[in-house]
Amino acid sequence: MSLNKNVLAVAVLAFLLAVGCSSDVAKQLTSDPRLQATVMDAIASNGGLASQMTDRLIASDSTRALLVDRLMTNASGVQGVMTAVAKSASMIDGVVGLAVQDSAMKNHLIALMKGIQITGRPK
């Protein structure tokens, strides 16, 4: 068994033992920082679990907003999003389509495009 699988197995065992000692799993999880760390470490170290958790967070309006807010305050996260958008013509089209709905942003985009047309780079 690899190290990640061992860590995951220990985390799951710790979680199950904690659950066995408490009738209210949610209460136990929200009140025990060590259990929180164990569960979150298990999720973060397992791509499948992390993907499932991300899907659950994205599915709800309130947690989606929280997730986006946290992502946009993280420099590496923002850079990753901008890089992904910059590499996709359809994403650029979507962002520009949303941006031009605001007249001030539309004027800003027109000025940028004129600068690119004249100088070969944005103003």
The predicted-structure confidence for 2-49, as pLDDT tens digits, reads as follows 556 666 666 666 666 665 655 577 888 889 899 899 889 999 999 999
Question: Are 42 and 7 contacting, i.e. CB atoms less than 8 angstroms apart?
Answer: yes
User: pTM score > 0.85 for this model?
Assistant: no
